[in-house]
Amino acid sequence: GDSVTQMEGPVTLSEEAFLTINCTYTATGYPSLFWYVQYPGEGLQLLLKATKADDKGSNKGFEATYRKETTSFHLEKGSVQVSDSAVYFCALPLVGTGNQFYFGTGTSLTVIP
Amino acid sequence: DTGVSQDPRHKITKRGQNVTFRCDPISEHNRLYWYRQTLGQGPEFLTYFQNEAQLEKSRLLSDRFSAERPKGSFSTLEIQRTEQGDSAMYLCASSGDPLKEQYFGPGTRLTVT
């Protein structure tokens, strides 16, 4: 069935370093793809999304490109900040009655000053 | 738009007790989802409502779990005869459109002692 596989963490970076968190998907069609972020003690927030192949989602300096040829949706940021420390989840909606989301296992990012 | 709210935020209960959680979705959203998240994992789907109808349930939702959405607005999730394995974060999400983003509440953290 449809799923996402996410790079395992945890990831520790120094401030201003470049970030990549890998996400690959398996899907029968071309679903929308999402990245959610969970800050400590909070619920999930949508970070960005892409609705079709070659789309680039972007928000708060983060970007991810929906690549059909490699079935990937990697999250990138050119210069991370301490405030980016959080857990990041890749997700896609499953085909079915409710279109509930299938989430990756999450990647914990810690940015040190 | 006040977002998705959940109550309580934290619940500690003794094994064998019943607990009930409430979720208030974004008012114009007709789709409501419950997920469960354990430490170090992504959220896992439990059940889905469209308006007041419960249209899908995960195999994770044992007979001790019941959910309702009586008037198509707020929803409750009840766990009877709680077990230590029920300890988790219970997340509620709502959506106004299939395959588009879901908006998450802050979650209810359940600890069963």
Please tell me the distance in Å from A1's CA to the nearest CA on chain B.
15
- Average pLDDT, integer, range A43-53: 93
Sheet of A56-59: strands edge to edge?
A19-21, A75-77, A62-65, A56-59
**Distance separating alpha carbons of residues A90 and A75, to the nearest angstrom:** 9
DSSP A67: B
For the stretch A7-45, pLDDT in tens is 888 999 999 999 999 999 998 888 899 999 999 888 899
Out of A6, A46, A98, the one facing B101 most closely (by C-beta) is A46
Give the per-residue pLDDT at B40.
86
Average model confidence (pLDDT) across chain B: 94
A83 phi, psi to nearest 5 deg: -70, -10
Strand duo A107-112 + A11-14: pairing:
parallel
Chain A residues lying within 8 Å of B99, measured CB to CB: 31-32, 93, 99
| Helices and strands: H and E segment counts in chain A | 0, 12
Out of B35, B99, B105, the one facing A32 most closely (by C-beta) is B99
Determine the Cα angle at B45 with ends B40 and B47, to 5°.
145
b/e map of B4-25 (b: 16 or more CB within 10 Å)?
A: bebeeeebebeeeeebebebbb
Contact B48, B33 (CB under 8 A): yes
Chain B residues lying within 8 Å of A55, measured CB to CB: none
